[in-house]
Structure 1
């Protein structure tokens, strides 16, 4: 049995899971992110843990596969005596009825925890994600000065190769994935007192809503939402919620108000390195711009033929050439980007993220065994979960913040060559053009 403050989250992919890891760690929680659901014995060996997460891969799964994967995990988490269980989704709400269905998650949760109300908070102001009257707006490139678009007009999200955004009103978007009624606490409601806000929440439930969506425009509004979530948890014993890392930020802020956690501001400064390895399965134009920047700034940039690699695996000629050139560059202390040419190939082929991710993971493990690298980057929200598993990573903890939503982490693995390396998981929408330079440099540029 854990303390009343223990929070657990299940991430729909690895990059998004490290976003939650960062939010909780910054809030002062001792947090570890696991690849698989940890047993109570594993957690008992970490007595100082305030929160933990599971880096899932449900964002890339069909509803049937989600059922088989998620239900056992939620049942196991429910048995642990936790106060909060949070299903972490991407802050651009990547999902569809066929792939990564968030509505399916909510239906499973109603069976496991219900009948219950499910708070839904997607807007994450710190990441450039804003909720207004049920509609989601997103900045182009987290951690950049990019333009803010309504989700269905966002240049990257409306052209996503798997879950293109066609609707910005999240209530309408979700209505295609679940029959549950969805209520709204809008931006004006957040000006109410704490007592009045709880009454508004109850009003939505009285109207028949079982999912309650929260707007948010400013980071300070998350504290009010977090305090409400804490009240709901006190009444229920365990509260299941869905949302972006804003849920973790909201709960962290509420814990600070209660005096349970003290935000952590003193973090080590990562050193600059010369031989950074970047493995990218991303199709995002944001990542494409970062790869182009890397090519112009001293990185060896290598692409493999994705179609050939699917057929022949690691024995594909293009992968063998990439491995040879990458080994030469890394030996010469030159940073390397290896990518699947996703921004180009998505126009003609659509290779499943598990295949691309597993290939990238095998490439990374092969090079790590030979080179003993200090730091790596895995880029691509859909592919990173599969890459991490192929590399034998079992858990990570936050080492230092760099760009909001994508911390530098330390890996844990039973494979000695992967244990203790520094690793960064970058979603497709994260970062300015010089992102890989930042990771090579170890800090923000002056």
Structure 2
């Protein structure tokens, strides 16, 4: 294994696997820290954690355990992957995990770059944009767990870390690999270990990846990995066998627990022409719904049935006020985990999940330990194979086109 990756959620980890697979690296995603060694042909190993919204100390401990396993597999470079909207609170978990990994690896120049231009995420003057809006005006300010109210990544990261935060501006990035390396060294000389780097285009991300060829630790969204495979290829270390893919027929069901604006629009578009069943917070808390009944309903429908709990921000806030944010989130995730398990037991072979927390619950419910990364459905969202008869699509809340659910079902079957 060459590149060791640690993802703070499941959808982001499959997004990263998609980036690396497209660039020619044989990539495997693991659910949690594995108990056994990796297969010898794996070139990029991605340990997917569910550490984005847990207490910072727990996130650090899990990430360090993942790092140890990846080091034991022989990795020479490591990537800490988090969301392209930098989902975190003033307490963490991005900063504490990044610093802990840097301490463990002795890293002194650590890129911080969540940019993903293909989905509208760019960084300019240290500020994160979603499309033409600052992050704090993109809808992410209403996120129920990690509301992002400050678009200045330097300032937000400084709340989470012990050290100071540096910055490499767009002018240096556009100047090429040499300029980037000089800028990173200059920021490190000032005492900055974590360094936010601007990136507006895919070309910027590739430049950053090439500039970091000898860096032991890199952090960012999946886009920061775009230039990394070529570094290994140039050294003659890649096999050129990134794996083959086959379609999967059979019953399909879509699940959604994301409350992002993009997912709510996808839910509305899909429900207009496919069977849909909304799960309300009150139903979940009062045990008025159960996984087996929902699974039976889904398998009795035509088309691509959708079961969702994707309310608007006001409804989410009201439900959290009634039931408590943590108990409500736990109850919904438990239901989705049970539902995924029930659907698989009843013969579902294609399962689509929208939302990072929801997808984490789905994967946990299925008890799958590793995935083969397949072709891309929409930017940042690949198909992944769990076993010989089950293919998944795990979508971050903000990703995907309006017709994502129907498109994913067709592509998983091999008909699109």
Instruction: Give me the TM-score of the superposition, normalised by structure 2.
Output: 0.90
- Segment of structure 1 superposing worse, 426-435 or 73-82: 73-82
> Could you tell me which residue of structure 2 aligns to residue 221 of structure 1?
204
Match of 1:101 among 81, 93, 107: 93
> Could you tell me which residue of structure 2 aligns to residue 246 of structure 1?
223
CA deviation vs aligned residue, 1:272-325 (integer Å, no higher than 9, x gap): x6842011111112111111111112x21012233442454xxx3465653442
- Contact 1:27 1:264 survives alignment (8 Å): no
Match of 1:340 among 275, 298, 309: 309
Indicate whether 1:51 and 2:52 are aligned: no
Displacement of 1:174 = 0.6
> Could you tell me which residue of structure 1 aligns to residue 122 of structure 2?
130
Secondary structure of residue in 1 paired with 2:254: strand
Indicate whether 1:114 and 2:90 are aligned: no
Distance 1:132 1:30, change over 3 A: same
Indicate whether 1:366 and 2:337 are aligned: no
Match of 1:19 among 15, 21, 40: 15
> Could you tell me which residue of structure 2 aligns to residue 153 of structure 1?
137
Displacement of 1:97 = 2.8
Match of 1:427 among 390, 393, 396: 396
Match of 1:165 among 131, 148, 152: 148
Displacement of 1:68 = 3.4
Displacement of 1:91 = 0.4
- Contact 1:86 1:247 survives alignment (8 Å): no
Cα distance in 2 between the residues matched to 1:361 and 1:91 = 25
Secondary structure of residue in 1 paired with 2:213: helix
Indicate whether 1:76 and 2:69 are aligned: yes
Secondary structure of residue in 2 paired with 1:106: helix
- Contact 2:31 2:370 survives alignment (8 Å): yes
Cα distance in 2 between the residues matched to 1:248 and 1:112 = 21
Cα distance in 2 between the residues matched to 1:136 and 1:253 = 27
> Could you tell me which residue of structure 2 aligns to residue 198 of structure 1?
181
Distance 1:438 1:200, change over 3 A: same
Superposition misfits of 4+ residues, deviation over 6 angstroms: 262-267, 443-446
- Segment of structure 1 superposing worse, 435-444 or 161-170: 435-444
Secondary structure of residue in 2 paired with 1:60: coil
Gaps of 5+ in 1: 140-147, 233-238, 413-418
Displacement of 1:30 = 0.7
CA deviation vs aligned residue, 1:26-52 (integer Å, no higher than 9, x gap): 11111110002224x431xx2211111
Aligned length: 408
Displacement of 1:433 = 1.5
> Could you tell me which residue of structure 1 aligns to residue 382 of structure 2?
407
Distance 1:125 1:254, change over 3 A: farther
Cα distance in 2 between the residues matched to 1:35 and 1:242 = 20
Distance 1:307 1:111, change over 3 A: farther
Distance 1:309 1:281, change over 3 A: same
- Contact 1:223 1:254 survives alignment (8 Å): no
Q: How does 1:366-385 map to 2 (within 5 A)?
A: 366-370=342-346, 372-385=347-360
Displacement of 1:379 = 0.9
- Contact 1:23 1:252 survives alignment (8 Å): no
Gaps of 5+ in 2: none
Indicate whether 1:441 and 2:407 are aligned: no
Cα distance in 2 between the residues matched to 1:437 and 1:205 = 48
- Contact 2:291 2:338 survives alignment (8 Å): no
Cα distance in 2 between the residues matched to 1:152 and 1:16 = 21
Distance 1:275 1:420, change over 3 A: closer
